[in-house]
Amino acid sequence: DAKTTQPNSMESNEEEPVHLPCNHSTISGTDYIHWYRQLPSQGPEYVIHGLTSNVNNRMASLAIAEDRKSSTLILHRATLRDAAVYYCILSRYNQGGKLIFGQGTELSVKP
């Protein structure tokens, strides 16, 4: 399985944008980039996913580098509720879409 590298932790101020980076230099052409987050004492929650183009949804934006070796999850205005562990995961189409979680980035949000 292709690996991802994320910072262990990041801090943000409330109501400011947050850019969470992810490196995936061994990504293959059929790998999708997924982001999930896990709030304290809850199961992981889907945030967004993409293949080549940047993606937007109501929760966040996903910016994918042109060479696809890195991506950035963008939270446009952090709230206290966004404090969570954020996971960047690659999923290969011919592996049935299974998700292998790494250690993720623990995001803390200061009021």
Partner 1 sequence: DAGVIQSPRHEVTEMGQEVTLRCKPISGHNSLFWYRQTMMRGLELLIYFNNNVPIDDSGMPEDRFSAKMPNASFSTLKIQPSEPRDSAVYFCASSLEGGFYGYTFGSGTRLTVV
Binding region for partner 1 (CB under 8 A): 32, 36, 42-46, 49, 87, 91, 93, 96-104
Distances (CA, A) of 21 to 5, 65, 96: 9, 11, 26
Nearest distance from C-beta of residue 11 to partner 1, angstroms: 21
Cβ closest to partner 1, residue 20 vs residue 47: 47
**Contact at 8 Å (CB) between 21 and 74?**
no
- Compute the distance between CA of residue 98 and CA of residue 86 in angstroms, rounded to an integer: 17
Cβ closest to partner 1, residue 14 vs residue 106: 106
Nearest distance from C-beta of residue 50 to partner 1, angstroms: 11
